[in-house]
Amino acid sequence: MPKTHCILIGAPVDCGKRRRGCLMGPDAYRTAGLAEAITALGHSVEDLGNLAPAPVDVAPHRNPKVHALAENIGWTQTLMAAAQEAAPRGLPIFLGGDHALALGSVAGMAAHAASQDRPFFALWLDAHSDIHTPDTTDSGNLHGTPVGYVIGRDGFDAFPPLPARVDPANICMIGLRSVDGAEHAALLDINVDVVDMRVIDESGIRTPLAAFLDRVQAANGMLHVSLDVDFLDPSVAPAVGTTVPGGATVREGHLVMEMLCDSGLVTSLDLVELNPFLDDRGKTASLMVDLTASLLGRRVFDRPTRSHA
């Protein structure tokens, strides 16, 4: 893999749901050796530290269940701007924080792609589709809305206007296994590429991912990867508040990252939903660091053996 300047952007977003703990995520990645793993592969690292949400004053949403609307909007503003500032200088890696951070990271990276006159693609590695809107969410947790926002669904009136709407056909969701009725109906209405766990069980993870990457390459696209801890099975990645059994194995996770590395297409990355309060001696944080290293060029034969003694 060509040597890359990786820009770590701490996004301790903890307002996209009610269960606390994701605000510790960015520092857990640092403690687990993310920067050291990246530099060991010959890349350079710039750490911007932990950002803060812009101050926002907004009226309560018409859906009374919506949680922490102003703070989520503030984070969207901050991270949209951070993405556009960092993207011309290297590969932004957004250290979450819950998945509400993608409201800003994806919108900002899509704006950058538009400024380069290149199509934008997103790979959503997640147990959930996150295609709700503030109007449709029953939980009120806005970490379930980033895809809905970036593709331009109605209901985001209070959020920053999108500099560039993401084409749903340019989104591939892999690992889905928890989709509610409203999300299912929305997915049927749009042209998102959906690869649920049944597809993976029946045909493996390589074939659908390879087909998507071929499309990105053919279009000369810029690819954003949004990796949620709950993409992985909770037996190997317990540090997440939205566990869903039946997720990807460690080996499947590494295969995805190695294929992404081989493609040379990735231009930005989210690491989201790590809740260190729920982890087992840093097991999940270390796995997420290892997966990032695979994306950046580490191979099986030079993967370290970890001791938890």
Catalytic residue check, 143: yes
> Is 128 annotated as contributing to ligand binding?
yes
- Residue tagged active-site, from 14, 71, 98, 130: 130
So what's the pLDDT on residue 300?
66
Q: What average pLDDT does the structure give for the chain? A: 96
> Is 180 annotated as contributing to ligand binding?
no
Query: How far apart (Å, rounded) are the C-alpha atoms in residues 297 and 260?
Result: 10
Query: How far apart (Å, rounded) are the C-alpha atoms in residues 284 and 63?
Result: 34
pLDDT grade for 302, boundaries at 50, 70 and 90:
low
Catalytic residue check, 57: no
So what's the pLDDT on residue 35?
98
Q: Is residue 202 part of a domain?
A: yes
Q: Is residue 308 part of a domain?
A: no
Catalytic residue check, 47: no
So what's the pLDDT on residue 303?
60
> Is 130 annotated as contributing to ligand binding?
yes
Query: How far apart (Å, rounded) are the C-alpha atoms in residues 19 and 153?
Result: 26
18-56 residue pLDDT tens: 999 999 999 999 999 999 999 999 999 999 999 999 999
> Is 99 annotated as contributing to ligand binding?
yes
So what's the pLDDT on residue 283?
97
271: which 2 tokens? 């690491």
So what's the pLDDT on residue 243?
87
So what's the pLDDT on residue 242?
85
pLDDT grade for 162, boundaries at 50, 70 and 90:
very high
Q: Percent of the chain, pLDDT > 90?
A: 94
pLDDT grade for 193, boundaries at 50, 70 and 90:
very high
So what's the pLDDT on residue 16?
96
Please tell me the total count of domains within the chain.
1
So what's the pLDDT on residue 304?
63
Per-residue pLDDT at 293 exceeds 70: yes
| CATH number, residue 153 | 3.40.800.10
209-233 residue pLDDT tens: 999 999 999 999 999 999 999 999 9
Catalytic residue check, 130: yes
- Residue tagged active-site, from 71, 228, 233, 252: 228
Q: Is residue 237 part of a domain?
A: yes
- Residue tagged active-site, from 112, 143, 224, 254: 143
Range of the domain at 268: 5-296
Higher pLDDT, 293 or 305: 293
Q: Percent of the chain, pLDDT > 70?
A: 97
Q: At what angle do helices 102-115 and 69-86 cross, to 10 degrees?
A: 30
Q: Is residue 303 part of a domain?
A: no
111-158 residue pLDDT tens: 999 999 999 999 999 999 999 999 999 999 999 999 999 999 999 999
So what's the pLDDT on residue 1?
81
- Residue tagged active-site, from 126, 167, 252, 270: 126
Catalytic residue check, 46: no
Q: Is residue 307 part of a domain?
A: no
Catalytic residue check, 138: no
Catalytic residue check, 180: no
Is there a contact between 66 and 140 (Cβ–Cβ < 8 Å)?
Answer: yes
pLDDT grade for 91, boundaries at 50, 70 and 90:
very high
- Residue tagged active-site, from 99, 132, 224, 254: 99
Three-class HEC string of the chain: CCCCEEEEEEECCCCCCCCCCHHHHHHHHHHCCHHHHHHHCCCEEEEEEECCCCCCCCCCCCCCCCCCHHHHHHHHHHHHHHHHHHHHHCEEEEEECCHHHHHHHHHHHHHHHHHCCCCEEEEEECCCCCCCCCCCCCCCCHHHCHHHHHCCCCCCCCCCCCCCCCCHHHEEEEEECCCCHHHHHHHHHCCCEEEEHHHHHHHCCHHHHHHHHHHHHHCCCEEEEEEEHHHECCCCCCCCCCCCCCCECHHHHHHHHHHHHHHCCEEEEEEECCCHHHCCCCHHHHHHHHHHHHHCCCCHHHCCCCCCC
So what's the pLDDT on residue 246?
95
So what's the pLDDT on residue 299?
86
Measure the CA dihedral 141/131/223/294, to 10°: 60
Query: How far apart (Å, rounded) are the C-alpha atoms in residues 164 and 179?
Result: 26
